[in-house]
Copies of this chain bind each other. A is one copy, B any other.
Amino acid sequence: MNYKLLARVLGLLLMMESLALLVCFLFAVFDVGIGDSSSFALGTATSTALLFGLLLVFFGRGKYDRIPRREGVLIVGVGWLASGVIGSIPFLLAEPGLTVAGAFFESVSGLTTTGSTVIADLSEWPRGILLWRSISQWLGGLGILVLFVALLSSLGAGTKSLFRNESSFEAAEVSNAKIRDTALLLWKIYLALTLVCLFGLKALGMSWFDAVSHAMTCLSTGGFSNHNESIGYFSGWRTGLAIEMWLTLFMLLGSISFLVYVVIIQRNWKRLRNEEEGKWYLILIVLSVIGIVAIKYVLGGRELGESFRGAIFTVVSIVSSTGYGTADFEQWPVGTHFIILGLMLMGGCAGSTAGGAKVSRVILLVRSVHQEIIQAFRPHQVFRLHVNGNSINDQSRAQTVLFVALFWFIAIVSMMVVAILETAHGVDFETTVAAVLTTLSNIGPGFGDVGPTDNFSHLRQPTQIYLALLMVMGRLEIFAFLVLFVPAAWRKF
């Protein structure tokens, strides 16, 4: 294990976080003055991040021409945890303040773009802190470390391993030499989309502060809002429907593979025609909306127009793993809950900012099952699986299927852990299931006592820390997180 390299990369990461915190600090000073608790909290966080960053970079000084695979895997996991800890300082020190576990939960929920919150009343909190919540999601969105790769190309070829653990891109599609260019391009696309979203929201009547915040939490499919009612706050406005539609569009854009934009920029129309994942993603969204409207309208006797409006926004918000809310879907018939649950588990497309299992994995799973069944009859036929026009080798396929199986294994064990931690408080079955799945899939809201109108503040501190770890695990697609707990990973060999 090359601890010096690890320290250097981690140090640079924390220095970048300090820059983001600095922006919030300056905003707070400008907004409410240097004497406010939020300015103090953000200033402390900024300097702590900078201090540790400098110390780590100093410790890790030297020349490195690549990041080896093992170090790459570890950096991703440690990096996320360390920035989570530093990012919790503002929530801890600012008024009204959170507990240690609550602050860690909120910080990790931001950086992993989960968007679950322990804050019961957002109106009590200073705007500097709210801005930090939004910026942390935007940073987390395309991955702190993809940004990092884009900025620090000096680290060279080894960044590929970072990149792969980070963003679930198909490694085969990105050539080693082009990693840096691609990362920079992704960063620009992300920025451009965010700006378009921002100006649209401003044009639709949002304040600059709300427009900036929501643009950042929308493209990152993070889902933090500055309002207790989430997007429901704007729904009553004359432009309410337009705001919902605009956000729906950008949640979609944030949750399809960013490689699609690269392909469009490169005018690679052949590859674009092969884009199955995006196609199926849209088909499943349309089917889910129709399903929910049918259940609400036919079985639940709700109003048709209102049903469509609520269903479209909710389906896209959930499947893209954003978690914005306009309607309380817990009031809908139970049949719709399982459609929502299915969407939560699937998530958006690989190579996007979305969480969940990813559409391409579901496609691969369904095709694998079909292949197995056909092979029961034709044992000697050789099959070749394709997704997006790319041939999938047996190893990738095995990893994908294993991911799905492992996801469930971890989910069940986590439900046991949460239920045991909460035993004395009597959290119910549905809440336990929902809390685990919504954090592990980086969605945000769940069902039961952690539903769209609730928050996670009533859970015990150990539970909050455990759920925060689940968010990191989900964001790292499990394997890269589990690696942190394998002693062999830390030994020199």
Contact = CB atoms under 8 A, between A and B. Distances in A.
Interface in A376-429: 376-377, 379, 394, 397-399, 401-402, 404-406, 408-409, 412-413, 415-416, 419-420, 422-424, 426-429
A230 interface: no
Contacts of A329: none
A36 interface: no
Given A372-B399, A420-B295, A409 B334 contact: no
A412 B420 CA distance: 24
Contact of A406 (B299, B365, B488): B365
Interface stretch (A52-60, A184-192, A309-317, A336-344): A336-344
Contact of A488 (B368, B374, B447, B486): B374
Contacts of A335: 416, 419-420, 422-423
B376 A69 contact: yes
B479 A376 contact: yes
Contacts of A424: 299
A483 B375 CA distance: 11
A394 B377 CA distance: 19
A402 B401 contact: yes
Among A70, A399, A401, A426, the one with the most B-chain Cβ atoms within 10 Å of its Cβ is: A401
A248 interface: no
Nearest to A404: B405
A372 B338 contact: no
A483 B430 contact: no
A345 interface: yes
A462 interface: no
A33 interface: no
A334 B489 contact: no
A369 interface: yes
A179 interface: no
Contacts of A429: 334, 337, 429-430, 433, 447-448
A202 to B, nearest CB: 39
A395 to B, nearest CB: 9
Contacts of A368: 398, 402
A416 B342 contact: yes
A408 B406 contact: no
Given A376-B483, A404-B408, A429-B447, 6 more contacts: A69-B379, A334-B429, A338-B412, A369-B406, A373-B486, A404-B405
A-B pairs with the 5 shortest C-beta distances?
Answer: A335-B420, A404-B405, A338-B416, A335-B423, A335-B419
15 contacts: A295-B423, A334-B419, A334-B426, A342-B413, A342-B416, A345-B412, A366-B409, A369-B482, A373-B486, A377-B488, A401-B405, A404-B405, A405-B408, A408-B408, A429-B430
